[in-house]
Structure 1
Amino acid sequence: MAVRAILFDRDGTLVHDVPYNGDPRRVRLVPGARQALDEVRLHGVRTGVVSNQSGIGRGLLTHDAVRAVNARVDQLLGRFGTWRYCPHVAEAGCACRKPEPGLVLSACADLGVPARDAVVIGDIAADVGAAEAAGAQAILVPTPVTLPEEVERAPRVAGSLLDAVRLALS
């Protein structure tokens, strides 16, 4: 089955994780991010970002600050087809916060792609869980915050973002 969309987690996957970052000047790409996105676009695959942003629900960030950081990522990597983020804290019990499927399903709807034709690339179990709950494929790219059991449970694991993109496109 050909992959028609790749959805990326933002923090820890596309950019280095800066907890509750609302400052676009603090955005730093992970190694290989630009090349990874170039390869995805070269294949004509649609792109999106799905990100938990509980700092909004905690009163540490505003929607405008999150959108400014997202815009900076677009500047550095080229425009994504959709941006979906959950502003809620975990205790809110919403359907959008990963590992729930809401962000993935919304992003796929935005892109006009069934979830079964999408791959979610992220760095923690919540990313994998959201993909699986939505019926999408998942690829985990471990970072220092990824727990060993998350790596063991992941259906597919890649050593870098670029490797994950190549795995998704193969």
Structure 2
Amino acid sequence: MQLEGPNGAGKTSLLRILAGFSEPMQGQVRFMQKCIRRDYENYALQVLFIGHKTGVNTQLNALENCQFWLDTHGLKTDLNIYDVLSNLGLVGLEDVPVRQLSAGQQRRVALARLWLNDAKLWFLDEPFTAVDKKGVALLQQRFAQHLAQQGAILLTSHQDLTAHFSHLSKLQLEYRI
């Protein structure tokens, strides 16, 4: 599902509430008929959140960032991290500190998480920010793979998705005064 709305409408706030990072003012978020607050550890295992900011350590290189993310989340992967970075167009840059990479390359380091985890529910806040056309096509291909594997995606974007995703639902947020 694509979440749309003007800047300040609450898209990021909604994603943060659904991911369990913020509390709703009323009601509760439920997943599999359970309030996420009552079983947050299990819920968190099913969720991948990538925010508008990259969430990478700029002092580390791409390889170290991916390994650090896996380690801090207690995740193991059968994938070779070098192969993931290569797929993202970062081959030859895996040892360069992230602070020296372009904004688009930094974003690709953050988006490597989409290949390194098996969470079923993805919350993605502006995943196409600073990503070129080839990168957008690669991301949309990964989205299609995730959906085909019975995953779910809720994303915000100011860009229209390609025709391949035209069947996806859109939720429009508007200002309320």
- Answer 1 or 2: which has greater helix percent: 1
Larger-gyration structure (1/2): 2
> Please, what TM-score do these two structures have when normalized by structure 1?
0.35
- By relative contact order (CA 8 Å, sep 6+), the higher-ranking structure is 2
